[in-house]
Structure 1
Amino acid sequence: MNKQASTAMWTAAAVTAALLLGACGGGDGDSKDEIKGADDAKPSKTAAPRKSSAPSGPKDSEIKLAKDAKNVFEDAETGDPKKDAVLADNRRRINSIDRVITTGKDVDLVKRYAKGDSLLAADKYILEAVNEKQSWVGVTRYYDQKVELVSDAVAQVSFCIDESKAKNKDLKTGKVEPNNGGDLNYIFTRLRVERNKDGVWQATSGTETAKAEKCME
């Protein structure tokens, strides 16, 4: 796992099945799917069923991580409503993935905010955590967020990630592992996002560069 987890416990077969269905089925509706065996200290709200006319997904407060894991998003407002909407859906994409990692819940929500190569990458990341029985604890920071609008339905998003205050947690033993990543904790990400028919900005492809000097300035 790249990022360092919480008190969640999953059934690998359940996760695999849900992710495969998401990758093959394509849709982008919300789901209350839950991985059997997940142990969340305090039950979180799940996403409300999507109305066909709704232009955005669940509220940020509904995509909760475990109590010992937190994502912090800086530079989240640009002053441009469309760019802010792009960043908001990207934030929900990140949190939906980490909700699965840290609580084992709402596996199906990930495909609302990602498709294509980005969805496959998210699936791989989640399955890696499941197979290694790992989650993460601590704080991950997202900053220097920028949006370039290519057209009404296409945009490029870039941002830095600081994982230096996040640590892996072994779910079998409960042991929190030290973060010895050093400069590897600083990652530069660039994504292509596309606005679907429901008005949701979905990540479709992207690149990540670890030890990114521009993110250590």
Structure 2
Amino acid sequence: MHALLRGVAGAGAALALAAPAAAQGWQCRAPSVLPRSEAVSRPPDAPVRRVPIGGYILSLSWSPEYCRTRKTSMRDALQCSGRMGEFGFILHGLWPQGRGRAPWPQYCRPVSAVPPATLRANICHMPSVSLVNHEWAKHGSCMARRPSAYLRASRVLFDALAFPDMDRLSRREPTAKDVRDAFAMANPGLEPEAIELRRNRRGWLTDVRLCLDRRFRTTGCARRTIPDDTDIKIWRGG
């Protein structure tokens, strides 16, 4: 835990990113009462993996695409109903990676539910109580002793980012290279090679992932699943 906190204490400098131009949850209005926080158990088909950490992935989800078919979903009401505000990118999670070709660590130990106060401190970054508990159980259990430490690390890294104008970018009919370059231009010091993208089967952007080394510095991603010349559609909402 202490190494994690020391590393993230200088995350803004380590990432070499600009100050946020506009936080993605800036208009978030957290409700006075949040859904009940429940511990997440390890699924039977998900093995415990306690392996050395070789780096991290900071995963960002594009909320307009996720909420496109979930606006009336009770499970996703905090993020998608509009009652907490409209989200752009949200924090999906901070994921430790294995060294070299080793698999990533996961479910390193059983954990309790994230306390209500910790949930409230993070709900505008990660607007889903179930997601917060899932990320803590699967990934945070391998990185910190307390959920507040793991989630603070995730939040600090997320807040170090500036985000490109996704509405303008979407109207250009962009390629994967355009999206990577837009993030790099918004964040001096962030190289396109450190950015991995995910899209769904219909070609719409779902996630942007930043590859980090053990000191939380951006580094080239080990694998590139979407080539630069791939068309990327970006849902603007509505």
Q: What TM-score do you get using the length of structure 2 for normalisation?
A: 0.29
Q: Which has the larger radius of gyration?
A: 2
Greater strand share, 1 or 2? 1
More contact order relative to length (CA 8 Å, sep ≥ 6): 2
Q: What TM-score do you get using the length of structure 1 for normalisation?
A: 0.31
